[in-house]
Amino acid sequence: MIALTHTRTISTEVTELLEDISFPQKVHWLPDTYARVSTGLFYPPHRLAEKVLDPTLIQLLRDTPSKKTAFILAAGNAHFAGVPANPRNSRLSYQYKPLPLTLTQVYASRVAQACGASDHIVTDSTACASSLKALMDVQTLLNFYGFTRVVVLSVEDAVSNLVLEFFGETKACLTAKREAEEGILPSAFDAKNGSFHVGQGAVFAVFESGEGLSLSGFKPLAKLVGAYTASEPCTNALGQLDSGLGFVKAAQGAIEVAGISANNIRIVKTHGTGTASNNVSERNALSQILPDGFVATSYKPVIGHTMGASGLLETALLVDSLREGTMPAIKNRTEDDRVFLSEPLPTPEGLVLSLAAGMGNVYSAAVLSVGA
């Protein structure tokens, strides 16, 4: 048994229009993370991480027994400091100084040591699947290598001109021009609205084995039943097959690892970017994975696409919501098919399937049981 015992998340539903960039667009961001970045000594991802690194929880982890503890830093951008591609006259402008502190593994080590996790410290970068892919590593470490606790930090600052220009040029995200000309809002699996705004986000999560729980006395928020990551043959590394093969392989792998029937799953947290490609691919995949029915949501219309952090961040938000009694709807959805929800529901019975996908043909899935 693997228990999720603690989570801390940061994201924002508020958007702000950035006009001084190549493709003006709204973003979900926390402007204070850019304070004093012009010196080159402070980086937005570090500031974002600080918002979930709760000192009280970190001290609790240091003070609570664990036989063997691992730490994983999952970020879609392999270089934690990001890419300095912002024009000097932009609000996003900051200098880039390749200090050792900005290296992903060095930063991971600093946080891990603070948490008392010195037995195994690694970083993981698998694009937008990074944080959910980390759950496959959590599962492996706790089930097969004698670890009793795994701490995961995932943080992504995608609010850079490089990222915003790429998604704007490819028409994946909603630019101000698209919103004005097409009259659409962020959503997913909808005939009228779709696509996303880019967002900042971070999540800090603690997982314990059964033995770990007996040592720590922590109480489970949810249980990780199975996790798996897969790929698909695809000539376009930036897209997804219409058949949904990658999602199917990841989900079926997680279900097999969990040793359950797909019929036990009733709740789905989709990748749900709202792009035309993802709408088709994920919808087709879910019809194959869960032919007997399900209800699904997406968080990206609410908090934006937080890239590498999105999978686990959105899963943590869903766990909180389900525990409070609500299955959230998909914001701005105009259709009502009672599957991809346009209205919230009381928490349904059944297991949760969480999905994520990343550029480069990588797909991750996790099955969870929410509750004590």
Summarised one tens digit per residue, pLDDT across range 294-353 is 999 999 999 999 999 999 999 999 999 999 999 999 999 999 889 999 999 999 999 999
CA atoms within a 13 Å half-sphere pointing along the CA-CB vector of 57:
17
CATH of the domain at 279: 3.40.47.10
Over residues 176-187, the pLDDT tens digits come to 999 999 999 999
Q: What's the pTM?
A: 0.94
How is residue 281 written in tokens?
């691919």
Q: Could you tell me which of 263, 301, 209, 170 has the C-alpha nearest to residue 1? A: 209
> At residue 350, what is the residue type?
G
At 235 the three-state DSSP class reads coil
At 148 the three-state DSSP class reads coil
Range of the domain at 129: 2-222
Domain boundary among 200, 222, 244: 222
What's the confidence (pLDDT) of residue 94?
53
Mean pLDDT of all residues in 243-269: 97
What is the share, in percent, of the chain residues with pLDDT greater than 90? 74
- What is the number of structural domains in the chain? 2
* 99 shares a domain with 158: yes
What's the confidence (pLDDT) of residue 99?
55
* 249 shares a domain with 184: no
Beta strands per DSSP E along 40-191 = 69-74, 120-124, 149-157
Q: Is the pLDDT of residue 2 over 80?
A: yes
Burial per residue of 242-277, b for 16 or more beta-carbon CB atoms within 10 angstroms, e otherwise: eebbbbbbbbbbbbebbebebeebbbbbbbbbbbeb
Taking 3-state DSSP, the helix, strand and coil percentages for the chain, each rounded to the nearest 5, stand at 35, 25, 40
Over residues 34-48, the pLDDT tens digits come to 776 655 556 778 888
Over residues 17-35, the pLDDT tens digits come to 998 888 999 999 998 887 7
Domain boundary among 199, 222, 245: 222
Mean pLDDT of all residues in 1-17: 96
Q: Could you tell me which of 80, 138, 75, 140 has the C-alpha nearest to residue 107? A: 80
Q: Could you tell me which of 47, 42, 45 has the C-alpha nearest to residue 78? A: 45
Mean pLDDT of all residues in 256-264: 97
